[in-house]
Amino acid sequence: MTLKTNLRKYRFLKDEMTQKQLADLVKVSRQTIHAIERGKFNPSVRLALLIAQVFQSPVEDIFYLE
Amino acid sequence: MTLKTNLRKYRFLKDEMTQKQLADLVKVSRQTIHAIERGKFNPSVRLALLIAQVFQSPVEDIFYLE
DNA sequence: ACATAAAGTAAATAATAAATGACATAATGT
DNA sequence: ACATTATGTCATTTATTATTTACTTTATGT
C-alpha cells in the first residue's frame, strides 16, 4: 500500500499555480512540494489537509493508496 | 491551524475496536494509535488514509484542522 | 478479591519529513 | 541572445513521527 498523488495535476488545474505559490499558501518550502509531487515522501495529514483545502477537494482525490 | 481528531469516537463506533486491534490493522504500534488519539502527533497522510479505510470514512471526518 | 485485557505514560532510539542553501536545467517572455 | 521564472536535484541539518520496552493505572469479568 504505497502512497500516490496527483498533486501536480491539481496544481495545474488550479490557475497553473506554481510550486512556490502552493508552498507559500501552505507554509512549507518549495522543495517540500516538489518532493511530494515526485513521491519522495509521505507528508503529514495536517499538510495534506491544508493542500486539499487549497484545491477545495477531498484529501482522497489528491492522495491515495495503491 | 492545528490538527484535531475524533479517531477515538470512530474507534468506539466500529465494534468497540481496541487501540491494539486498530494498530494491527494499519500496522503501527499501539502507542502510535494512542499518541494520535491524544493529539500528540500528526500522522502521515498514508497512515491517515489507512485509518480512514478501516472506518470507511473520508479522512476529513476523522482528522480536521481548527 | 483476583486475574486479565485495555489504556495511559515515559524514555530511548530509529526512521523519515521538512528546512535550507546551493547550483543546474528547462521553459517563457522580450 | 538575454533575462527571468519555474523546476529538478543534492547534501546537510533539524524537527517530528514512529518503534520498542517497560511500567502504571483503569476497566471488565469471574
pLDDT at A1: 86
What whole-number distance in Å separates Cα of residue A11 and Cα of residue A29? Answer: 16
Domain that holds residue B40: 3-56
- The angle subtended at Cα A32 by Cα A30 and Cα B29, nearest 5°, is 165
What CATH number corresponds to the domain at position B18? 1.10.260.40
pTM: 0.94
In a domain, B64, yes or no: no
Q: Which residue has the cell 502507542?
A: B31
Contact B45/A50, CB-based, under 8 Å? no
Q: Return per-residue pLDDT of chain B as tens, 66 residues.
A: 899 999 999 999 987 899 999 999 999 999 999 999 999 999 999 999 999 999 999 999 999 999
Task: Give the best residue of B46, B59, B65 to mutate against chain A (max A CB count within 10 A).
Answer: B46
pLDDT at A42: 96
In a domain, B41, yes or no: yes
B45: closest chain A residue by CA: A45
- Give the CA distances from residue A39 to residues A3, B28, B41, in Å, rounded to whole numbers and listed in that order: 8, 21, 22
Which of A6, A12, A5 lies closest to A41, judged by CA? A5
Residues of B in contact with A65 (CB under 8 A): 46, 49-50, 53
